[in-house]
Chains A and B, each alone.
Chain A
């Protein structure tokens, strides 16, 4: 199946959400840590070193973030491409060619999102009640690599809800109204209130389209070579093909309900109503 409207919307919304939170909320932090070797059978012919944090920032539009992680080995700085060095921004790790010594002491600095962003494929209640999440390493824990692929909190899970086409103009133009929900998992109330505050103010915001093919990361989690000078949200997003956040309603789970949850996290919701004027039948 070819990429259709909802695919494009979800991709565009995901990238907007990520950029908006990082930019408006300055929801990121730069760390300098050691990296830890581990094997990953999913990555063939690569040597993997993981950091204690996943979902690094790769968007050049976030000024102040360490977009190009600085990596050092036993004999000094290692530039991207040396010994096949690639960054896996999603899983918070680096990959080398298979002949790289696994005993090398690797360290580096990079910027981590305060909130990881995921496109959820689980229902809200499953996310909240049955989800088992890794927690991005923080103070007080033994630093080691964070396991790849699993979802780590603090995080926001995005999911598309209902979509309706309401007649808008003569000639077949409709207003396609889509409900998108973000379930927010925060470590503390300050964090949760911060995210809810950022997105409560997003009502009537406009965000541009980024086609499904414009997704920034490749199969290794590195920025696609297509973005030769790096990925910059402001340069990639369409300035003419736009969506509008008509309404953003924020809420959080009540204290009494929170006590019943099996997860030691603070949970909130952002219910977005997104408008797009289009010709669905053409």
Chain B
């Protein structure tokens, strides 16, 4: 004969279970494991993205992302200073996450905090414009103004007519936008949402 429990009894059991240490330890371990799978996949997608690789390759990297039609590379096109590491700063932001557990009356509320798109765009400032994001520019289009600035080193500037010289060089490469952080983050958020809806 099946055991019949009243709602009151079920609630009482649930309340005890969510406060049970082995249960919460199992829950945390299970969630951590499943989240880390998503997290590492996300970082792997980010690290393997051609835009990431190209910028990380510095000023001598080939245009593997194809955004410049094979001419030059994103590092110099965007106008990063030689030796700077824009991907390192971005990666630091992407690697952050917080998992908080709120044990409530008869449930455990799990809050997963990962970087928002806005945080990512703030962490990727254009080297020559305060408030503009190069990561957003990769997706929406980006001007070759950065390349102009990089080419106007103090040495080159000593020659007269530098603006006209630079103008000719700029025209060598036209930027084609491509999907980047928004697409990667959307995929990340979707997987996290799936995890949130999952019954462990």
Q: Which residues of A come within 8 Å of B, CB atoms?
A: 123-126, 128-130, 161-162, 179, 249-254, 256-257, 260, 262, 269, 271
Binding site for A on B (CB under 8 A): 126-132, 140-141, 143-145, 147-149, 152, 157, 162-164, 166-167, 170, 177
Are A125 and B129 in contact, with the CB atoms below 8 A? no
CA distance A83 to B170 in the complex (A): 50
Query: Please, how many angstroms separate the alpha-carbon atoms of A179 and B130 in the complex?
Result: 19
With A123-B144, A125-B148 known as contacts, the answer to whether A130 contacts B167 (CB < 8 A) is yes
CB distance from A238 to the nearest CB of B (A): 27
CB within 8 A of B143: which of A123, A250, A262? A123
Q: Which of A161, A260, A271 is packed against the most chain B CB atoms within 10 Å? A: A260
What is the CA–CA distance of A277 and B166 in the complex, to the nearest angstrom? 41
A162 lies within 8 A of B141 (CB): yes
A129 touches which of B130, B131, B157, B167 (Cβ 8 Å)? B167
Task: Report yes or no: B177 in contact with A162, Cβ–Cβ below 8 A.
Answer: yes
Residues of A within 8 A of B128 (CB): 253-254, 256-257
Tell me, in angstroms, the Cα distance from A252 to B145 when the chains sit together: 13
Assess the B152–A251 pair: CB atoms within 8 A: no
Residue of B with least CB distance to A183: B143
| In contact, B170 and A269 (Cβ under 8 angstroms) | no
- Smallest Cβ-Cβ distance to A252: which chain B residue: B130
A129 adjacent to B148 (CB under 8 Å): yes
In the bound complex, what is the Cα–Cα distance between A271 and B128 (angstroms)? Answer: 15
Select the residue from A123, A126, A161, A257 with max chain B CB neighbours within 10 A.
Answer: A257
Contact A130 B132 (CB under 8 A): no
- A250 in contact with B131 given A130-B164, A257-B149 (CB within 8 Å): yes
Q: Which of B127, B132, B140, B164 contacts A251 (CB 8 A)?
A: B132
Q: Is the CB of A129 within 8 A of B163?
A: yes
State A256–B163 Cα separation when bound (angstroms). 16
- Please give the distance in Å from A183's CB to the nearest CB on chain B: 9
Q: Smallest Cβ distance from A273 to chain B, in angstroms?
A: 9
* Residue of B with least CB distance to A124: B143
Please give, as numbers and ranges, the residues of chain B lying within 8 Å of A161 by CB-CB distance. 140-141
What would 10 more interface pairs be, CB under 8 Å, given A179-B141, A254-B127, A257-B149?
Answer: A124-B143, A125-B147, A125-B170, A129-B166, A129-B167, A161-B141, A256-B128, A257-B127, A260-B152, A269-B129
User: In whole Å, how far is B146's beta carbon from the nearest beta carbon of chain A?
Assistant: 8
Q: A125-B170, A129-B170, A262-B163 known; A249 and B131 CB under 8 Å?
A: yes
Knowing A162-B140, A251-B126, the reply to whether A125 touches B145 (Cβ < 8 A) is yes
Q: Check A254 against B143 for contact (C-beta < 8 Å).
A: no
Report yes or no: A251 in contact with B149, Cβ–Cβ below 8 A.
Answer: no
Q: Pick 17 A–B contacts, CB within 8 A, sort by A.
A: A125-B144, A125-B170, A128-B148, A129-B166, A129-B167, A129-B170, A162-B141, A162-B177, A249-B131, A251-B126, A251-B132, A252-B129, A254-B129, A257-B128, A257-B149, A260-B157, A269-B132
List the B residue with the shortest CB-CB distance to A130: B167
Give every chain A residue within 8 A of B164 (Cβ-Cβ): 130
Least CB distance from A176 to B in Å reads 15
State the CA gap A162–B163 with chains docked (Å).
Answer: 28
Instruction: Report A-chain residues with C-beta under 8 Å of the C-beta of B163.
Output: 129-130, 262
Contacts of B162 in A (CB 8 A): 262
Given contacts A125-B145, A125-B148, A129-B170, contact A254 B130 (CB under 8 A): yes
Min C-beta distance of B137 to chain A, whole Å: 9
Contacts of A252 in B (CB 8 A): 129-131
Q: Tell me if B132 and A249 are in contact (CB < 8 A).
A: yes
Q: Which of B127, B145, B167 contacts A124 (CB 8 A)?
A: B145
CA–CA, A259 and B164, complex, Å: 17
Measured CB to CB, the nearest residue on chain B to A250 is B131
Q: Which residue of A lies closest to B154 (CB)?
A: A260
Which residue from chain A places its CB closest to the CB of B137 in the assembled complex?
A271
Q: What's the Cα separation between A110 and B131 when bound, in Å?
A: 37
In the complex, what distance in Å separates the CA atom of A262 from the CA atom of B163?
A: 7
A262 to B165, CA, bound (A): 12
Q: B residues within 8 A CB of A128?
A: 145, 148
